Structure 1
Amino acid sequence: MKNIQFFFLVLNVLIITSCKGSGIPIDTETDINIEISTGSTVNIKIWNFRIDKDTTLLNFPKTLLGTYHFIKNKVNDFTAFNSKGEKLNIKTIGNKFVIYGSGDLNSITYNVNCSDKTSINLVSSGVIVDKDLIVLNNNILFGDFIGENRNYKVEIKKGTNFNNISNQQVYHKNDSIDIIRFRDYKQMINSPIIYSRISTNDTFFIGSTKFVLSVHSPNSMVKASLLSTILKPVTSAIINKIGFVFKDNYNLTFIYDEGLNEKVYQKIALEHPNSSVYHFFSTPSFINKRDSINYYQDLQQMVAHELFHVFTPINFRDNFDDCFYNDTLKMSPHLWLYEGFVEYYSLKILLDAGIIDKDYFFSKLAEKIYNYSKYVKMGYKISLAEASENIYDKSNLNIFYDRAAVLCFLMDIEVAELSQGKYSLYSVIKQIYKQNNKFNKDSLFFKMNSIAPGIDNFANKYIISDKYPDLSFYLSKAGLSYTMIHKEFGYYFPIKIIAYNSKTQTITIEFQENISPFVKNKQIEITEINNYKVSSYSFSFLYRRYYNQEIAFEIKYIEKGVLQSATIKPILVNVPKIPYYPNIFINRNMNFSQKRIYEKLFEK
C-alpha cells in the first residue's frame, strides 16, 4: 500500500466465557497477534482456548445492520492447531469455519486482506493500515463462536503517536499499546477501531451526553473545530427530537482522502449504536463561499440522516439481527422506514430547527420527486416491500433514498388528513416505539392503523403493492404542487472538461465561448482556483450555474510549460441554456383542510 512505513500492529484478546452448565466464569486469555508491513494482508494468530465441545463453529458475518451489500470473505489460510501443534480438521463453508476436535484447540492462524482505500465499503468492511491511518472493522477481523456468550479484552500494539478517534473506552498500557474491552460480540462488531496520527478533535455536550468529533485530514484543510461549529446544531436538533439519552460518549469520525479515483462515490457513512463514521474520497477545496455553503448543507443533511438512525433501525425495528451469516436470507420488508422515513424526516427536523429554510427543504424534496418520477416513467414494477427484502440486488438501493422518501412525505400528509391534523407520521411511529421498540414485521401497519385509522390502505397500495401514488392528489391535500420551472437568465462557464489528472492535480478544459482573456476552443491546464489546488471537487465549481451572480475567479494555469495567472468571469446566458429543474410550490389560497395539514407538518 502507498507510503506505508514498516511497523507492527498486535492485538491480544482476552475472552471471558464459562464452563457449560457450571455457571462459573473462567478467564481464558486468547492472544491475537496482527503483524502489518508493506504487504496487503494482516496476519492473525489466536491461541489459549477453553472449549468443552468437540466441534466449534467460527462464523464471520456476511453483512451488518445498515449495510446493503454482502461482505466479501477476506480470511485466507485459516488453520487450527491442537496442544501438540498438530493441525485440526477444518471445513470451510463460505464465511463459516467448522473446527473439529476443538476440545483440544490451542491456536488458530489466518490472514485478512487489507482494503483498497478507494473502496466504497471502507466504513463497513475495510481494513486499512497506512502510515497515518488505521481502520479496523472488527466484523472482518473476528468471527463469532456461535452459541457462546463471551466478553472481549483487546490489546492493541499500534505503534507510537497514534490517537484513537473511534468510540471505545481505551486504557493506555504505554505509548504504543492500548487495551479495549467489549461486553459481547455484538458490541465489538459495531465498534470499528480507528487510529490517526494527524487527527484534530473537538467535543461538545447535548444534555448529559458528550459528543467527540474527530477529523482525519491528510492535507489539514478540514478541522474538527470547523465541523463542530457546523454540526453541533444538527446533533442537538436530532437528539432532542428523538429524546434519546446515550449511556456512553458518542463519536463522529470523519476520514478525508486526497488523490483518489474521482469516479468512485464521493462520500459514504455508516451509523453504529454509539458512533458514526464518514468517509470522503477527496477533500473539499472551498473555492468560494457558495461552494462551501453547498458542502456544509450536504454535510449537515448527511449527518442528520445517520444520527436519526439511532431512532430507527438501531432502537426501533422489526425482529431482524444486527448481522447476517448467510447470503440467502432476505432483509426486512421495512427499509421504507429505516431509509426512506429517515431520509425524509431527518430533513424535516432540520427545517423545524431552523437550520434550513422552506425553500431548501422543498427543493430537496422536489429533487427526490424528480428522481422518483424516473421510476414511474420507466414502468419500474416492484413494490417497496419486495425491493426491501431483496435489497442486496444493487439495482434496488437508490429506491429508498428517493421513492421511499417521497412516499413518506406523502404518507405524512395522509396521516395528518386522516387524523384531522392531530398526528404526523413521526408521532404515529413514536407512539408505537413507546409501546415496544421491537415489532413483528407483519404487524406494523396494523399498529399504525390503530392510531391513524385508514393509513393501512395507503400502506397496502404503495408499500405492499407496486402501485405509484398520484403525486398531485396527495400534495394538493397540503396546499402544495410540483412542477418543472426554469430561470430566465443566469451565469455559467461555457467549458468542456477534457481531462482530470489526479496525480498532478490539474484539470484540462476547453472554452466553448469567448471568455476574456481566452477565446473559443482554447485549451488550458488549470492548477489552482482561488489559490487552492484543483481536485475532483472542482468539477462542481466548473459546471455550476451561478444564478443572478457574476462571480470572478482567480486561476493559475499552464500554457506551453509556463505557469500563468488570469481572472475569469462566468457569462450571462439566455433561457435555452439554463436547464429546467423541479420545484414544489406553496398555494397561498388554501382552504381550511389544506391549511390545517400544511401548518401541522411544515409550520413550526
Structure 2
Amino acid sequence: HIVTPLSIHSNEIQYFDYNTPKMSEHLWMYEGVTEYFANLFQVNQGLISEDDFYGRMSEKIATSKRFDDKMPFTKMSKNILDKQYKDSYYNVYQKGALIAMCIDIQMRESSNGQRGILSLMQALSKEYGNSRPFNDDELFAKITALTYPEVGEFLTKYVAGDTPIPYDVYFAKVGVKEGTVKKPSNPFLKGEMPYITINPATKEIVVLPEIELNAFMKKIGLKNGDTILSINGTAYNLDNIYEMIMSSMDWKENDPITMQIKRKDKEQTLKGKVTLSMEDVEGLHFTDTSKAKLKEAWLKG
C-alpha cells in the first residue's frame, strides 16, 4: 500500500472495535486505489504494454459485472462484514480499482492532464494525517473540494448511487475504445489453436500433420510432420516448449531465423526471415489520436 497511505483513514478504521466491528464506506479507496496503482505503475514504468494494461482493466470490468452492478459501492462496503455482502469483497479489487481509474481519467481531463488520482491521495494525506481520521459521510465533499465538480458528480452518481459506471464514456476521454484491431499472431498458434504438438514417446515438438500452415512456416520451408529441434541455437522439446512460444512472441518482421529440424529421420537446417501473419483481436485499444496528450498524461504522467 505504498501510495494509498493508510495514513488516510476513517473513524471506523481509526477506532475499529473488534467486538462490534463497523466498516468504512470507502473500501474503494483503501483497496481499490491500491490495486489500480499496482497496475498503473507497471504500464507507467514500461513493465507491461498499454494494450496489456487495457486488457487487465477489461478483465476487471467483465469480472465486476458478475456482481450486482447496481449495488451502491458505499453501501456494500459499509456492510461487507454482513453475511449478505461478504461474498462481494473480491469486487473491491475489481470495481474498486475501476472507480479509481475513472477518477484518475476524470481528473486528467478536468486539469488538462496536470493532475491525477495520485495528487488527490497526496492532498488527502496532508489533510488527514495518521492521527486525524475523516468522517465517512464527509469524504466525498472533501474530495470534491480538493478536485473538480465532475469528480464529485461521479462519486455521487456511480459510487454512492445505483447507476452502473459507463466505462466507455471514461475510456473515450483518453481516446480508448472497444473494437477489433489487427495484431501480429504468434508463429506457432492460430488464435488458441496450436500448429504444433508433442511426440509423447520422444518429447519432441512436431508440426501437426493435417493443418494448413501459416505464411511464416511455409516461407521458411517447414512441412507438416517436421520435428523442430532448435531455433536460433536454442534446443526445444516438451520441457521448454512454453519458452519457445513466449520467445517467438517477441519476434519482429524480417528477424533472421535458423531452425534445425528433422524430416523423415534426416536432420536439416532451415534459414530465412520471420513473416508475421496478422489477426483480428477484440479488446480496448487507443484509437483517437486527438486524445494522445491526455492518454500520455494518464499512463505516463
TM-score (norm 1): 0.35
Deviation at 1:517, TM superposition (A): 6.3
Query: Out of 165, 181, 188, which is 1:469 matched to?
Result: 165
The match for 2:49 among 360, 365, 368 is 360
- The answer to whether structure 1 residue 414 and structure 2 residue 118 are counterparts is no
Contact 1:368–1:402 (CA under 8 A) maintained in structure 2: no
1:571 & 1:324 partners in 2: Cα distance? 63
Q: How far, CA to CA, are the matches of 2:18 and 2:272 in structure 1?
A: 56
SS in 2 for 1:487: strand
1:180-191 paired onto structure 2 within 5 Å: none
Question: What is the CA deviation profile of residues 68-114 of structure 1, one whole-angstrom value per residue up to 9, with x for unaligned ones?
Answer: xxxxxxxxxxxxxxxxxxxxxxxxxxxxxxxxxxxxxxxxxxxxxxx
Report the 3-state secondary structure (helix = DSSP H, G, I; strand = E; otherwise coil) of the residue aligned with 2:3.
Answer: helix
Distance between the aligned counterparts of 1:324 and 1:509, measured in 2?
Answer: 63
- Normalising by structure 2, report the TM-score: 0.62
Alignment map for 1:336-485 (pairs within 5 Å): 336-346=28-38, 348=40, 355-356=45-46, 360-361=49-50, 363-375=51-63, 381=69, 382-385=71-74, 386=76, 389=80, 393=87, 397=90, 399=91, 403-417=95-109, 423-437=115-129, 438-454=133-149, 455-476=151-172, 478-485=173-180
- Paired with 1:541 and 1:573, the residues of 2 have a C-alpha distance of 15
Amino acid paired to 1:408:
A
- Structure 1: gaps of 5 or more residues: 1-308
Paired residues of 1:491 and 1:570 also in contact (CA < 8 A):
no
Letter in 1 for 2:128: N
Rounded Cα–Cα distance in structure 1 between residues aligned with 2:6 and 2:296: 30
Superposed displacement of residue 412, structure 1 = 1.7
Note closer, same or farther for the CA distance 1:427–1:491 as it changes in structure 2 (3 Å cut): closer
Structure 1 residue 536, shift from structure 2 partner = 7.7
Q: Of 493, 498, 501, which residue of structure 1 is paired with 2:188?
A: 493
CA deviation profile, 1:376-402 (whole Å, cap 9, x unmatched): 876853554427937963x753x4555
Match of 1:552 in 2: 257
Q: Hey, what does 1:584 align to over in structure 2? A: 286
Q: Who is 1:530 aligned against?
A: 234
> Structure 1 residues 484, 420: CA separation in 2 closer, same or farther (over 3 Å shift)?
closer
What are the within-5 Å matches in structure 2 for residues 23-38 of structure 1? Answer: none
Tell me if the contact between 1:493 and 1:542 (Cα under 8 Å) persists in the aligned partners: no
Report 1 or 2 for greater relative contact order, CA contacts < 8 Å, sequence distance ≥ 6.
2
Higher mean Cα deviation, 431-440 or 510-519? 510-519
Alignment of 1:193-208 (within 5 A): none
Question: Which structure has more strand as a fraction of its residues?
Answer: 1
CA separation in 2, counterparts of 1:552 and 1:402?
Answer: 42
User: What value does the CA root-mean-square deviation take over the aligned residues?
Assistant: 5.2
Match of 1:519 among 204, 215, 223: 223
Q: Which runs of 5+ in 2 are unaligned?
A: none
Aligned partners of 2:180 and 2:280 also within 8 Å: no
In 2, Cα distance between equivalents of 1:564 and 1:325? 71
Per-residue Cα deviation, 1:48-83 (whole angstroms, up to 9, x for no partner): xxxxxxxxxxxxxxxxxxxxxxxxxxxxxxxxxxxx
Q: Is the 8 A contact 1:513 1:519 kept in 2?
A: no
Matches within 5 A, 1:555-570: none
Secondary structure, aligned partner of 1:492:
coil
Equivalent residue for 2:246?
541
How much identity, in percent, do the aligned residues show?
18
Q: Return the alpha-carbon distance in structure 1 between the equivalents of residues 289 and 226 of structure 2.
A: 48
Against the structure 1 CA distance between its residues 474 and 582, is the aligned structure 2 distance closer, same or farther, given a 3 Å change threshold? Answer: closer
Matches within 5 A, 1:500-515: 510-511=207-208, 512-514=211-213, 515=217
Letter in structure 1 aligned against 2:49 = Y
Give the secondary structure class of the aligned counterpart of 2:177.
strand
Q: Following the alignment from structure 1 to structure 2, what is the Cα–Cα distance between the partners of residues 466 and 600?
A: 30
